[in-house]
Amino acid sequence: MQSDVRSYIDDHAREFYDALKQWLTIPSISADPARAGDVRRSAQWLAGHLSGTGFPVTEVWETGSGAEPGLPAVYAEWPAADPGAPVVLIYGHHDVQPVEPLDEWDSPPFEPAERDGLILARGASDDKGQVLFHALGIGAWLASHDASAPPVTLKMIVEGEEESGSPHFADLLRRERDRLACDVIVVTDTSMWAADVPSMCTGMRGVVDAQIDVYGPERDLHSGSFGGAVPNPLHALADLLAGLHDADGRVTLPGFYDKVRPLTDAERELFARLPFDEKAWLATAGNSGAAFGEAGYSTIERLWARPTAEINGMWGGHTGPGGKTIVPREAHAKLSFRVVADQDPADVAGMLRDYVARRGPAGVEVIVTVDGPGVRPSFSPIDSPAVAAGRRAMERAFGREVLFTREGGSGPEADLTDILGAPLVFIGVGLDEDQIHAPNERVDAALLLKGAESAAYLWDELAAAGDELTGGR
Ligand SMILES: [Zn+2]
């Protein structure tokens, strides 16, 4: 069976690459209002392709409302022959990032090129290449089983606004909750550690953004006449910010770590097996001088599994040339928190307000502004049935052990799992060197075939997990 899947994929590789290249010519840049028509064309192209693959249901779903129209998503559905089989929803996106600066592209971003085993174009890796391998994967499964329906009910939701922050996606999920109902969600928008170190992402940190404004005297004061006798807003701000961490690099907000899911020994052991070269990593970190962070955790653990408080900017007082002896009237800082499962951005915002209220010195006004609801973290335990099934599928495709990673970025994953109430499994074959969001985006063409093969096995693995996923529904 395995050899049948493989030979089907090899036999159809050329056709697959050509289809992908055709899709990649459509400049579906969601951030550019002038490209709205192209995003729609991209949705229609995908719906047509999925329908050609055999999906009996393919629809283009409008998003937003009359007053605030959004960009379309694609929905497809292919019921399993067995109505009791698990229902699997595949998530991806068909919009792409803007392409500036154009002169840094070796070939035009929407004229897909093939070179050295790579396909180069905007969207090749993020996310069109990865979305499309599912169509090849299902074709391979059907052919190798001589079947006309998949072993699990397959649904796909491919949104058109991910690169613009998915402004209408949560509403769409709520509106179509019944049709999107599923037992597991397969997210295909992540990368692996390396081409020869296959890995699965198991979660993403969320984020909370905030600003602190400190106001003191009504005007800047002469520091000779007033300094030392009235509160200085910059000092007050410096104290608030310095107090956010203790000597061990831990965040001091009371309760900050209460909901943080501790790393399991198994996950720490698997992270430690990733070939991580700290020196090389420091070079990628803008030639940072040293690794730094919360005591007791490795660099990888700090990046993936631990929450942070970060000062992003601070300003106030005199910053021009020469001296100016003042007590400034105001001081400001922007900060952000990376949050991990099971922290809630709203809780963290509340903790920041409490901290400032308690610690803010008398005689200055301190205002904390939190930007929006933040982004919730997402996480799938490595021993959950869906992740275990995904790992087995990838191990069959790659013929070697699959390790685990997590990612820094955060898309709509938390909305998917919260609104649809199903666990996530991340099957992605992108690489860090794909230069997504940058000039010369590319994808390793052979890895897309591995993705298709992983997908083909995944449907078997999820079907075999059966009741573990459906709860015997
Ligand atoms: Zn993406």
Distance (Å, whole) CA 395 – CA 453: 10
Q: What is the pLDDT of residues 115-164, one digit of tens each?
A: 999 999 999 999 999 999 999 999 999 999 999 999 999 999 999 999 99
Of 80, 99, 103, 186, the C-alpha closest to 454 is 186
User: Which pLDDT score, from 0 to 100, does residue 1 have?
Assistant: 66
**CA–centroid distance, residue 127 to ligand 1 (Å):** 5
Q: What is the DSSP letter of 30?
A: T
Centre of ligand 1 to C-alpha 53, Å, is 23
Domain boundaries, the chain: 2-204+377-470, 206-260+307-370
Asked if domains 2-204+377-470 and 206-260+307-370 share a fold, the reply is no
Full DSSP string of 380-427: --TTSHHHHHHHHHHHHHHTS--EEEEES---THHHHHHHH---EEE-
Check residue 264 and give its pLDDT: 95
Helix (H, G, I), strand (E, B) or coil at 362: coil
CA of 126 to the centre of ligand 1 (A): 5
CB 96 within 8 A of CB 122: yes
**Which DSSP state fits 430?**
B
> What are the tokens at 398?
């790659």
In this prediction the pTM is: 0.91
Report pLDDT for 408.
74
Residue 220 CA to ligand 1 center (angstroms) comes to 47
CA–centroid distance, 258 to ligand 1, in Å, is 31
Phi, psi of 72 (to 5 degrees): -75, 150
Q: The CATH number of 2-204+377-470 is which of 3.30.360.10, 3.30.70.1070, 3.40.630.10, 3.20.20.140?
A: 3.40.630.10
Q: Give pLDDT, residue 387.
A: 97
39: left (phi over 0), alpha (psi -120 to 50) or beta: alpha
Distance 93 CA to ligand 1 centre (A): 7
Q: How far is the CA of 191 from the centre of ligand 1 (A)?
A: 10
Going from the Cα of 216 to the center of ligand 1, the distance in angstroms, rounded, reads 44
pLDDT < 50: residue spans in the chain: none
Closest residue by Cα to residue 165 from 330, 410, 368, 455: 410
CA of 209 to the centre of ligand 1 (A): 22
Spell out where 20-176 has E strands.
Answer: 57-61, 73-78, 87-93, 113-115, 118-120, 153-159
Q: What is the pLDDT of residue 2?
A: 75
Class of domain 206-260+307-370: alpha beta
* Ligand 1 center to 325 CA (angstroms): 50
Q: Distance between CA 287 and CA 470 in Å, rounded?
A: 48
Eight-state DSSP code of residue 74: E
